[in-house]
Amino acid sequence: MLNNYNSEDKVLLSVDCIIFGFDNEGLKILLIKRDFEPEKGKWSLMGGFLKKDESLNKAAIRVLNFYTGLQDIYMEQFYAYSEVDRDPVERTISVAYYALINIENHNAELIKNYEAQWFSISKMPKLIFDHNEMVSHAMRRLRYRTSTKPVGFELLPEKFTMRQLLELYEAVLDKNLDKRNFISKINSLDILVKLNEKDMLSSRKGSYLYKFDKEKYDAQLLNHFVLNL
């Protein structure tokens, strides 16, 4: 039995957050310039060390709020990174989360203060340490999620067109989808409310706007289903 804590090695534990957003230009990631050594001035994920009085989830919420000013962000823990040499300063284990936010809702002043910047996933710069690996892993998890849970409420504005929803799925999956098949499968989930409003910027006739039925959407998040797109 291990009963002597003092004789055991001590390691640091951190959380790193992969923050995804979506706009008319596609799926994006929020990055920050590191303001201390090592790798000062290089692009990094947003993270911080676990404090003695908090759980991993609370640490992730603190980090996300500190850099974005947002509360109630959808996030999911997906992996722990524990390579011995992943941090050149100190042995550090990192637990990674991905978060989904609506870009329109982020706190622009905080992002300005911390030199944070949105990048297209396809044009993301090289990141410090193993952060590029974390992003790739988070993308695989997000893509898997699209086949088991509905995606969109956290990334889209309150009112959106079916084309915007289609473009979101295409951006996440990185492939073109058949429009009719997509609409049919999304409608089968019964999580959208069609509004008597149109987006008149999308075409001459305009495109109907939709909202997520929050109650049905949340219920679907709890249920397992397969959405083959």
Please return the burial class of 185, using the count of CB atoms within 10 Å of its CB with bins 0-12, 13-18 and 19+. middle
pLDDT for 203 beyond 80? no
pLDDT grade for 226, boundaries at 50, 70 and 90: low
Find the helix packing angle between 162-173 and 131-148, rounded to 10°: 130
Percent of the chain with pLDDT over 90: 63
From CA 17, how far away is CA 20, in angstroms rounded?
9
The lowest-confidence range among 61-70, 132-141, 196-205 is 196-205
The pLDDT value given to residue 3? 67
Q: How far is CA 65 from CA 72, 131, 222, in A?
A: 9, 20, 25
Which of 25, 54, 83, 115 is catalytic? The answer is 115
Signed CA dihedral, 14, 77, 174, 69: sign only: negative
Structure tokens at 193: 């409310």
pLDDT for 107 beyond 80? no
Residue spans of alpha helices (H) in 114-210: 131-148, 162-173, 179-188
What is the helix (H) or strand (E) element at residue 210, kind and residue range?
strand 207-212
Give 9 or 51, the one with higher predicted confidence.
51
From CA 17, how far away is CA 19, in angstroms rounded?
6
Q: What is the pLDDT of residues 164-188, one digit of tens each?
A: 999 999 999 999 999 999 999 899 8
Structure tokens at 36: 């201390």
Which one, of 142, 172, 148, lies nearest residue 18 by Cα? Answer: 142
From CA 49, how far away is CA 16, in angstroms rounded?
9
The pLDDT value given to residue 108? 78
pLDDT for 224 beyond 70? no
Q: How far is CA 79 from CA 31, 88, 90, 138, 161, in A?
A: 19, 20, 20, 9, 34
pLDDT for 114 beyond 80? no
Give 29 or 201, the one with higher predicted confidence.
29
Instruction: Report yes or no: 212 and 189 within 8 Å, Cβ to Cβ.
Output: no
From CA 215, how far away is CA 213, in angstroms rounded?
6
The pLDDT value given to residue 220? 76
Q: What is the pLDDT of residues 133-156, one digit of tens each?
A: 999 999 999 999 888 888 888 899
158 in active site: no
